[in-house]
Amino acid sequence: MRNASILGLVFCLVGCATVQLDTPEPLQVDIHMKVDVEQKGGAQAKSGEGSLSIAEERRMLSHQVQILKNDHRVGEAADGTLILKELPKDEAYADYAKTVVVKENGARAKMFEEKARLEGKSQAEYAREFAQRARESSYPGEWIQEESGKWRKK
């Protein structure tokens, strides 16, 4: 028993040793970075000749839409559109939010038309089904509009 307490005392003393972590001179980090930015679609997109598919267009907007949802600025309407619920006070941010909503709703309208035709439904019917899926997949705290027209935070 005595040996165990002596051994414990030795481990404590060794374990309590001071370790110097600072350096005499500041650390230096040398970073060289090259960034190439290309527009999706290459030369065709730069000239304006090509257009993005509906899925690509919505994918490119998805991050911006989610940021606006997280800021509680936009909500998912019962008709499948994205609605600007609260206009930001900052004029530049308000213009940005309006632009994102218009682009997203334009892409959704094209998608509703295409999907409804493929599935043999009306655009309104497909849009309502889309809205239902959007409500179900919304995160807590995001604005959603019930089929009754009532807005609430999920």
State whether residue 150 is helix, strand or coil. Answer: coil
Is 29 a domain residue?
no
Tens-place pLDDT, residues 17-62: 676 777 778 777 778 777 666 555 544 444 444 577 888 889 999 9
Judge whether residue 102 has pLDDT over 60.
yes
Per-residue model confidence (pLDDT) at position 135: 95
Question: Residue 80: which residues within 8 A CB-CB, separation 6 or more?
Answer: 108, 112, 126, 127, 128, 130, 131, 134
Number of structural domains the chain divides into: 1
Does residue 59 fall inside a structural domain? yes
Per-residue model confidence as pLDDT tens digits over 65-78: 999 999 999 999 99
- Whether 9 is covered by a domain: the verdict is no
For the chain, give the longest Cα–Cα distance.
87
- Domain of residue 67: give its range: 49-153
